[in-house]
Amino acid sequence: MIPVLDLKREYQDLKSEIDAAVGRVLASGGFVGGAEVAALEAELSAYLNIPYIITTGSGTDALFIALRAMGIGPGDEVITTPFTFIATLEAIQHVGARPVLVDIDPQTFNLDPTLLEAALNPRTKAILPVHLYGQVAPMREILGFAQAHDLKVLEDAAQAIGARYCAEGCQRNDLACDCHNPQAGTIGDAGAFSLYPTKNLGAYGDAGFIATHSDHLAEESRLIASHGQSSRYHHIRAAGYTSRLDALQGAILRVKLPHLENWNTHRREIARRYSESLKNLLQTPCEAPYAMHIFHQYTVRHPRRDLLAEHLKTRGIGSSVHYPVPAHLQPAYGDLAPQGSLPQAEKAATEVLSLPMHPFLEEPQIEAVIAAIRSFE
Ligand SMILES: Cc1ncc(COP(=O)(O)O)c(C=O)c1O
């Protein structure tokens, strides 16, 4: 079987370093926060080139806490995409606000910024673009719209750690551009990242973090994530929360972070191999001119998607669907938008298929995936 993802293989590669890191934490007797987590925050801050990193218990918490830190609450509306993992919408609901959905671009699967105007009203307070599959959403248009209407922008960078963006329209590999190709999740007011095990940088449990340039959002986020506490047993914000990173996760992530750039480069190479061979057979992922995609998922489109998935399965090849039902067609979210109102997301949900993608895929496995798709009639 060629799995979509192979976390056991990744562990084997790093076993001695990870085992040593885990042993170090167990021997230290400190399990929540502490030196490992502080060091990880500093290393993420250097990697992403942003002053503040606030680790949280998950990516969902990072989204929710950042929205609260921005002051979004009951009566407010937040514009986002229906074609995402449900956590994006849950975070908006957790602060008491209402998600307002706009349709996606059928090529990139990211929010279509030309539709923002129609979703705007006096209750709109923020935009929450998702960098789906590891490709940055069109941030120049989104930020321009947000600035014109005094809206906050929270990036859902759960799937996009290490992805780059070029505001000036240079080519993605031209690192000489004046925009310095900022990292996904560092472009808006704040970015929320997931470190769930399957992500490009994954913990061995739930984990996430907020990235921001803002002193105010950093301070508020830290307070909210830890019981509204300014110092031990002094609570200056009501209704705080317990959302902190374990020292074990911090230590494990510190082993993995130095490998992330190489892993992402390798994913891009595998994506290039797939796309060269498959481009005449189905819709391969589109890399926007302003984006450096890190292929958290390598997602193709095919009108007979379910038959293709079945065909791959019979040949021992895993695949998965992200996502089979857009948010507004979920039983719990039917009040957000009627069926037929977000046609691109609805169609994409019936056609997308993610192929095996991880940095440890070997050449014969890549060839087997390509051959299996070629043999699909
Ligand atoms: C787009 C998106 N947003 C939010 C999340 C939530 O992250 P977590 O699972 O760490 O809570 C995820 C990941 O699962 C995601 O893919």
- Residue 127's SS3 state is strand
Q: Which residues contact 42 (CB under 8 A, 6 or more apart)?
A: 53
Rounded CA separation 155/90 (Å): 15
Average pLDDT over every residue of 229-249: 96
Instruction: Identify the residue whose C-alpha is closest to ligand 1 atom 7.
Output: 59
**231 strand-pairing partners:** 234
Give the ranges where the chain is alpha helix by DSSP (H).
7-28, 35-48, 59-69, 87-94, 116-119, 139-148, 215-225, 247-256, 260-278, 305-314, 343-351, 363-374
For position 173, what pLDDT does the model report? 52
- Mean pLDDT across 197-222: 98
Q: Quick one: pLDDT band at residue 293, thresholds 50, 70, 90?
A: very high
From 5, 58, 60, 111, mutation site for ligand 1 pocket: most ligand atoms within 8 A of C-beta: 60
Where does CATH 3.40.640.10 sit in the chain?
7-103+110-258
- Identify whether the C-beta of residue 125 lies closer than 8 Å to the C-beta of residue 154: no
Taking the model in full, what pTM does it have? 0.97
Query: Is the pLDDT assigned to residue 177 strictly greater than 80?
Result: no
Write out the residue limits of the CATH 3.90.1150.10 domain(s) in the chain: 259-374
Task: Give the dihedral sign, CA 328/329/332/335.
Answer: positive
Ligand 1, pocket-test mutation among 78, 194, 354, most atoms within 8 A of CB? 194
pLDDT in tens, 260-289: 999 999 999 999 999 999 999 999 999 998
Distance between CA atoms of residues 342 and 338, nearest Å:
8
Nearest to 169 by CA among 140, 133, 129, 189: 140
> Which tens digit of pLDDT belongs to each residue from 3-56?
999 999 999 999 999 999 999 999 999 999 999 999 999 999 999 999 999 999
Looking at domain 259-374, its CATH architecture is Alpha-Beta Complex (3.90)
What one-letter code names the amino acid at 204? Y
Least confident of 99-103, 167-171, 336-340: 167-171
Query: What does the DSSP 8-state code read for residue 202?
Result: -
pLDDT reported for residue 168: 65
Quote the percentage of the chain above a pLDDT of 70.
96
Q: What does the DSSP assignment read for 158-184?
A: TT-TT-EE-TT---TT-TTSTT--PBT
Query: How far, in Å, is the centroid of ligand 1 from the Cα of 116?
Result: 23
pLDDT at 175: 45
Domain 7-103+110-258 sits in CATH 3.40.50.2000:
no
- Number of the ligand 1 atom closest to the C-alpha atom of 207: 10
Task: Name residues contacting ligand 1 (CB within 6 A).
Answer: 58-60, 84-85, 87-88, 130, 156, 158-159, 194, 196, 206, 208
Q: How far is the CA of 133 from the centre of ligand 1 (A)?
A: 11
Testing ligand 1's pocket by substitution, the residue of 85, 89, 352 carrying the most ligand atoms inside 8 A of its CB is 85
What pLDDT is recorded for position 218? Answer: 98
Which among 355, 327, 360 is positioned nearest to 85, based on CA atoms? 327
Q: What is the pLDDT of residue 178?
A: 63
pLDDT score, position 247? 98
Residue 172 scores a pLDDT above 70: no
pLDDT for residue 174 is more than 60: no
Whether the Cβ atoms of residue 162 and residue 71 lie closer than 8 Å to each other = no
Distance 214 CA to ligand 1 centre (A): 23
CA of 352 to the centre of ligand 1 (A): 19
C-alpha distances out from residue 309 to 184, 313, 332, 377, Å: 31, 6, 27, 13
Q: Name the least confident of 85-89, 215-219, 291-295, 350-354.
A: 291-295
Cα–ligand 1 centroid distance for 65 (angstroms): 14
CA of 63 to the centre of ligand 1 (A): 9
Q: By alpha-carbon position, which residue is closest to atom 8 of ligand 1?
A: 59
Q: Which ligand 1 atom sits nearest the alpha carbon of residue 87? A: 4
Residue 75 has pLDDT above 50, yes or no: yes
313-372 pLDDT, tens per residue? 999 999 999 999 999 999 999 899 999 999 999 999 999 999 999 999 999 999 999 999
pLDDT value of residue 316? 97
- Average pLDDT of the chain is 95
DSSP state of 33: S
